[in-house]
Structures are given as C-alpha cells and as structure tokens.
Structure 1
C-alpha cells in the first residue's frame, strides 16, 4: 500500500508491479501528513497489506502550508499507531527527494535544509515502529538536477527509474 504525496502518486500504474505484486497506490498529490488519516480511511482492505509505504514532508514544508514539524510528526505517528494490526506488517518511509531550489517558481519556497528536517522526523517515527527508510536524495543523487521536472519539485521519469528499484528493494527487505 502506498500512501502520501505526489512523489508516490505519480508512479505510473504500469510500474507498480515493479515494486511488488498487488501494490495499491492510495497516495494523492499535494498531500501533507495530516491527510494520511483520510487516505488510510479510504482503503477498505488495509488490514490485508503486508507493507505500508509512506511519503510525506515535501508539502508539509511549503511555507504557504505552514505545517509545524511537530504537527507533521504527530499526524504520521497517529496513522502508524492506527494501522490495523497484522502480524509481520512493516512500514517503509520514502524520504522527501528534496527540490531543485533554483527552479522553484515561488521566491519564498521550500529549501532542502527544511525538507531534510521533515524527513528526519518522519524517518524517526517510522524506524521507531520497526520500519525502514528509503534515502531518496541519495538514490537520486546521480541525476543531480535531472531528477526534477522544470518546476523543481516533481520527479522526472529518469528519477523514477532509480527510485522504483530502491523502493522495491526496501519493500522486499520489509516483507514478512
């Protein structure tokens, strides 16, 4: 099960099988941590999933959203605590890939330093629950600025070519 923001929502449906069999993508572009509860509520058979993958933080850090990092942390922790019990269920956090600050359209926008802070806090929540983390900035580092579309925020097809195998490896390591 994929939950979170556009970094997961934009994975082409044809590529979900490259992550694992039976992947459902419930992620929604523009989501913040407080939106996760609604995403979870919208999945009727959530208890059947062995692995839950979450990616939030990039939109939480947007200055016009002004989601305090503590609120983001609590919202993620609440969702993790509310997942239906399932023996062996594992969590994977996909860290924010960052942004290409030079391409962002707004003058006062996200910075990679702030995104790193949000990712660090979310990663701590997931690892405290026994989960693992995909270090997305490291995965995408070989691409540099080519990892991002012209808006400096969203990922290019080349970025997904690196991210999907890393995500698949994390899911495979997390499977019961």
Structure 2
C-alpha cells in the first residue's frame, strides 16, 4: 500500500534541502563573486581578512541547517502520526515561506562584511537571493490558497450533509 504522506514528506524535505543549499551558495559564493567582479573567491576572502572582515561559513550553515533539521523532525513526526498528505504539503509550504526570513538572517552578516570590506552595498547582487524570496512568496500564497480551498471543501461537505 502506498502512503502519499511519505511521498509528500520526501518531496518537502528535498525542496527544503534544495532551498537551503541554494541559499548557502548564494550567500557564500555567488553573491561575493557578483559583488566584487574580477576577483576570485579566494581573493575576496583574503581582501576581507585584510580589512578585518570575514565571510563566516558557520553562521550561514547553522541558520540554514536548523531549517533542514526542523523539516526532518516535523515531516518524520507527521508521517509517524499518520498525518494526511495535504497537511504535510501545508507544512512544507509554511517552511519554504519561512525560508525568506531565514535567508535574511543567514545572509545579514556576510552582506555587512562584504559592504564594510569593499565599501559597497550589502544587498544581494547575484540574482538567486531574489529568486529564493520569490519562491518563499509563492509558497506563502499557495499555503493560504490551499487552506482556503480546504475550508471551501469542508463547507461544501457540511452543506451537502445537511440538505
């Protein structure tokens, strides 16, 4: 017997892992390279160290890793508790929507360090941060649309039972 919530849990977990991976690459590789064109990542890191700034890897991995860990724990719990696939999907949409604030927290220090070391804006230059934020926005909207759709289905069922 197939259990759709297991498939939903696997997809949710893989999506969150992909989101966190892209976020880490954006913060630690792609954005520094785009913000300081003409320099290699090694040269950027060296110049930052010379300016008493650093592109710390650990805080980025910790913040993003917490999202992956939370996802693993929650989807495992939901599957073991027999949660419906739609509930697992709703959880996944909520977690991806929460990726935007997690991305902001994870990238803040790296962006400020780049800004201070090179006298540039600390904002994203590489496009993938914006893509991640758009994905989070779509997940947020989809979360509410699914909730509204489910509420409509339940209301229709109640009306058909009554009358």
Q: Could you tell me the TM-score, scaled by structure 2's length?
A: 0.28
Task: Report which of the two has the higher share of strand.
Answer: 1
Q: Could you tell me the TM-score, scaled by structure 1's length?
A: 0.27
Larger radius of gyration: 2
Task: Report which of the two has the higher share of helix.
Answer: 2
